[in-house]
Structure formats: C-alpha cells, structure tokens
A = this chain, B = another copy of it.
Amino acid sequence: MAEQVATNITWHDGTVTRQERQDVLKQKGATVWFTGLSGSGKSTIAVALEQVLFQRGHVAYRLDGDNVRMGLNKNLGFSAEDRAENIRRIGEVCKLFADGCVITLSSFISPYREDRDLARQLHVDGEIDFIECFVDCPLDVAEERDPKGLYKKARAGEIKGFTGIDDPYEAPEKAELHIRTDQLSLEESVKAVLDCLQERGLLKG
C-alpha cells in the first residue's frame, strides 16, 4: 500500500477485487438473460425490473436492440453468421458489465439454444451468475400484442426469417426462470425475477 498523506491518494498492488466492488455496490454482478418471442414481454419486464432495482439502491443496466443494434452491432446483418455474432457480442458485453458488478438485463429474442448456451458458458467461465429467463406466451398471444407491428409485416412477407413465423424459436430446456406472461401480471413477473436475485444472494443491504 503506497500511502500519500498529502493527497489521500492510496492504492495497493493489483486491481480492484470483486469483493471490493461488491462492498461498494452492495450487490453481486450477474446477467439476467431474457429470451422469448417478439411481443412476449421481455423488455417490459426488464424496464420495470430495472426501475425497481434502482429504487432499492441497486445498479442495473439494460442491453436491448435500441442501444446495441444501433451501436456495437450496427455492422451486423441478419445472416445466420451475423445473428450468432450478434448474440456472441451481447454475451461478452453482458459478461463485462456483470464483471463490473452490475445487474445486467439482456433483452433479445435470442432464439437459438446454441447461442444462448455460449453466452451462458462465458459467464460460467468467469464465475459470474447467469440467469436465463424464458419469457413465454403462446405465439397467438404475442402476435395479438404485436407491439412493433412486426408480426403483421412477417405474415405479409415483408420481413423474412421472423422468429415464430418462418424461423424457429428454440425454447430453453434449463432456464433458471420460466415466466408465463399470459398468466402472470407484470408485477408478478418482476417479482419472480427479483425473488430469484434475492435467493441467490445477489442483492445486499
């Protein structure tokens, strides 16, 4: 420890430890990976959950199409290769945020099991909690909601390879959370994720 009395600037060898981060932030970093059909309610839950976490003095960050597709991943298209790379990069960024002790909320359809498992493995390798949250409702319910009008376009053939219509959604087989948004209220859905975070000891103070 190099102590400098005049300026009160001190440091030790090595980097800030995970424990030091947790002590300051009163939480452990983790990634909640919301996956499900377009219109299933992923972002709605993530947006509300983020607010509840902040109200309680915790720190969360949402990754979604708005801040990733237009930025980090704007040079990716919709080929099979680019879709996999899209999810890979998101998984890596989630890992960085969670390593930084943030509760990271990832909100993407992420329809393929292999891609989600890769994101999970990155976290396992880094000894970081990864909570796969399957946001589930029947296709006809999601299509009825159609918040962005995308199902309508997909049915009309204006969008090709749309998940649930002409591209598969591979449902999780081992998700930590399975939320039926056609059966639960938004409040109940948020509470289910919050309870999971608390049971895992991720939220302190």
Whether A61 is near chain B, meaning CB under 8 Å from some CB there, is yes
List chain B residues, Cβ under 8 A from A16.
Answer: 50-51, 54, 60
Tell me if A183 is interfacial: C-beta within 8 Å of chain B. no
Alpha-carbon gap, A95 to B24, bound state (A): 22
Report the stretch among A1-9, A133-141, A143-151, A166-174 that lies at the interface: A1-9
Q: Which residues of A contact B (CB under 8 A)?
A: 2, 4, 7, 9-12, 14-16, 20-21, 24-25, 47-48, 50-52, 54-55, 57-63, 67-68, 71-72, 75, 85, 89, 92-93, 95-97, 99-102, 122, 186-187, 190-191, 194
Could you list 7 further interchain pairs (A-B, Cβ under 8 angstroms) beyond the known A11-B51, A93-B93? A10-B55, A11-B52, A16-B51, A21-B59, A61-B96, A72-B92, A72-B93
- A93 in complex: contacting residue of B2, B4, B10, B96, CB < 8 Å: B96
| Assembled-state Cα–Cα distance A92/B95 (Å) | 15
A78 to B106, CA, bound (A): 30
Q: Kindly report which residue of chain B lies nearest to residue A15, judged by CB atoms.
A: B47
The reply to whether B71 and A96 contact each other, CB–CB distance below 8 Å, is: yes
Asked if A7 contacts B99 (CB within 8 A), the reply is no
Q: Are B187 and A9 in contact (CB under 8 A)?
A: yes
Return the contact of A71 from the options B57, B60, B95 (Cβ within 8 A). Answer: B95
Contact between A71 and B92, CB atoms less than 8 A apart: yes
Set of chain B residues within 8 Å of A190, measured between Cβ atoms: 9, 11
Tell me, in angstroms, the Cα distance from A24 to B194 when the chains sit together.
Answer: 19
Bound-complex Cα distance A9 to B51 (A): 9
B residues less than 8 Å from A50 (CB atoms) = 15-16
- CA of A71 to CA of B12, assembled, Å: 27
Residues of B within 8 A of A75 (CB): 85
Can you list 8 A-B pairs with a CB-CB distance of less than 8 A? A10-B52, A11-B190, A12-B51, A24-B54, A67-B99, A71-B92, A72-B92, A72-B93
The reply to whether B72 and A96 contact each other, CB–CB distance below 8 Å, is yes
